[in-house]
Amino acid sequence: MIGNLYVVGLGFSGLEIARRAQEAGWTVAGSVTTAEKAARLTAEGIDAEVLTPDSARLRAATHLVTTVAPDSAGDPVLPLVRHAPVKWLGYVSTTGVYGDRGGGWVDESDEPRPGQVRSKQRLDAERAWQTLGAKAGIPAAVFRLPAIYGPGRSALDQVLEGRANCVDKPGQMFSRVHTHDIASAVLAAMNRNAGEIYNVCDDEPCAQHEVIAFACKLLGRPAPTLVPWEDAAPKMSAMARSFYEENRRVKNERMKRELGVALKYPTYRDGLSAIAAQRKQP
């Protein structure tokens, strides 16, 4: 299936989705927050604009994906696209909607139990998009993502910029996903006209300090000293602490089974090694 895709929020993940869709033959447009960003992306070959309800590009879309986060007032995108004549909706959400599971595994059959305010807002937004799809009689897929990384935003960058910390909180696990695999899942769902909830993550949840240590190895640098959680927490921002307050491992079997996604980067080692190799290219 090939059509016209509109990506609301051409940020880190949204741009990867847009570029991969273009490569696959889709006509692609999308939105950003400023005219300056729109001009820059348009010069780079991505048809970008500041979204308005009367957008001609939006009216031409057959498929719509939004990566924009909700706030205390709800999802800011819904009022702008409610009457767009699309045939498929995709909403990029977060695995944070599952809440804390004490390090246990979760899949899409588990009832969400969001603990953070931002995760509760995400769950409300998920349901609003699903309701919109049901009323319009079209599929509305939800993609739940954990920590996102890719070229320019990874543990390698944290190490090189002096921002890498190794926090020792025994038993703490994080899942993650490379932007390439996010785009693969979204494109697969569009091609299959799929409209379920999908966890989009890699195969190997682990402690974040393991990822930092591997990044240091690739860069030929010593890993930072492990700092006990009790010592690290008071120095963290409230946002950083909030991630450590929840602990879960995320399953991705439905994504593989129903969407046929074969991960290009099934572990952080695969993803970081590829990014490191790209850095070495002239």
The mean of the pLDDT values for the chain is 96
Per cent of the chain over pLDDT 70 is 99
- The Cα diameter of the chain in Å comes to 55
- At 117, list the tokens: 């305010």
Whether the per-residue pLDDT at 282 is higher than 70: the answer is no
Contacts of 36 (CB under 8 A, 6+ apart): none
SS3 221: coil
CA distances from 101 to 78, 148, 210, 228 (A): 31, 20, 21, 21
Percent of the chain residues past pLDDT 90, beyond the cut: 95
Name the E strands within the chain. 4-8, 27-32, 47-50, 63-66, 88-94, 105-106, 140-145, 147-149, 166-168, 176-178, 197-199, 226-228, 249-250
Query: Cβ distance 106 to 98 under 8 Å?
Result: yes
Which residues are paired to 31 by β-bridges?
Answer: 8, 49
Q: pLDDT per residue over 210-246, tens digit each? A: 999 999 999 999 999 999 999 999 999 999 999 999 9
Is residue 250 predicted with pLDDT exceeding 90?
Answer: yes
Q: Which two tokens stand for residue 39?
A: 């001009």
Provide mean pLDDT across the span 112-122. Answer: 97
- Per-residue pLDDT tens digits for 161-211: 999 989 999 999 999 999 999 999 999 999 999 999 999 999 999 999 999
Q: Is the dihedral of CA 250, 76, 118, 12 positive or negative?
A: positive
The model's pLDDT over 45-59, given as tens digits with 9 standing for 90+, comes to 999 999 998 999 999
**From the CB of residue 221, how many other CB atoms can be counted at a distance below 10 Å?**
12
Model pLDDT for residues 201-220, shown as the tens digit of each residue: 999 999 999 999 999 999 99
Contacts with 187 (C-beta within 8 Å, 6 or more apart), sequence order: 17, 20, 21, 24
Task: Output the pTM of the full model.
Answer: 0.96
125 Cβ contact partners less than 8 Å away, ≥ 6 residues apart: 70, 74, 75, 78, 91, 93
pLDDT band at 281 (very low <50, low <70, confident <90, very high): low
Please give the pLDDT value at position 83. 87
At 56, the amino acid letter reads A
Is the confidence at residue 1, as pLDDT, over 90? no
Give, as one character, the DSSP assignment of residue 233.
G
Q: Where are any strands of DSSP class E within 132-202?
A: 140-145, 147-149, 166-168, 176-178, 197-199
